[in-house]
Structure 1
């Protein structure tokens, strides 16, 4: 297995978890929060998708799927187009609502398609390329992609947990 295959497999696992987390839920269930300041499934899936979209588009040097395919308009959220959910407070989380799971999975699938088509061309040497010098040490492509995978898997797991609470 080469590095591109490994990355494609990792992002494929995220896709499976995203679909499982939202499958069969209503708009009310997607927006439900297990506590007053807890994250909803809708927010968790939207956020993990926004982070993946933002970070992969940045390292690929392309426009985010969020704006390129007008997902920003389709969601109609009251946030700037560049918002990813990072730093959101409880009142912001409450504003992430969707009419159906298909909106969330549609956006995720569009981002996933871009991600896997791009990472399929990544080779081992590319992983050492510095992509963000704002940190010490500077962030390499490899570190950024592992960070995105880690964040996505954590949030998808949280969404699955919330779904389990709702359906218990």
Structure 2
């Protein structure tokens, strides 16, 4: 298996996990915040898409799907155009409201762009430095693994929150 195939296999798991989390949720369950101050499922899924979108686009020199495909306007959030959710206050978490269909559509559009980027990656390309703000500088390969880790954690958190609300945790996707 080539590195690109391994990365595609890993990233290809996320859309199904997102669908599984969102399946059957009404607006109240999407917005429910565990313990009253945890991140809502809507926020977690939105943030998952925003993180992947912003970081993959930056590494590949592309415009984010968020703006390129008009999702920023479709969501209509009172947040900055480049906002990904990092450092959000409780009020900002509450402000992220969207129907599950839109959350799913956005994540799937982000995933399509990620797959296109990965289709053009080869092993030497994974060594290309994409961020010099760190020591050592971050390569494309390291950034992609970081994105995967973040996305899988956030979708897992959303699945856990869904399970808390229903009284059982859904582990069928694990």
TM-score w.r.t. structure 1 length? 0.97
Map of 2:157 onto structure 1: 158
Map of 2:59 onto structure 1: 59
Q: CA shift at 1:59, angstroms?
A: 1.0
Map of 1:117 onto structure 2: 116
Q: Tell me the alpha carbon deviations over residues 57-82 of structure 1, each in whole angstroms, 9 at most, x when there is no partner.
A: 01111100000011000001000100
Q: Helix, strand or coil: the match of 1:39?
A: coil
The equivalences for 1:8-157 within 5 A come to: 8-98=8-98, 100-157=99-156
Runs of 4+ in 1 over 4 A off after TM superposition: none
- Alignment partners' CA distance in 2, 1:24 and 1:118: 31
Segments of 5+ residues of structure 2 without an aligned counterpart are 168-174
Higher relative contact order (CA 8 A, sep 6+): 1
Map of 2:171 onto structure 1: none
Q: Helix, strand or coil: the match of 1:131?
A: strand
- Alignment partners' CA distance in 2, 1:126 and 1:167: 44
Alignment coverage as a number of residue pairs: 167
- Alignment partners' CA distance in 1, 2:86 and 2:20: 24
CA RMSD in angstroms, aligned pairs only:
0.8
CA contact (8 A) 1:53 1:64 kept: yes
CA contact (8 A) 1:7 1:120 kept: no
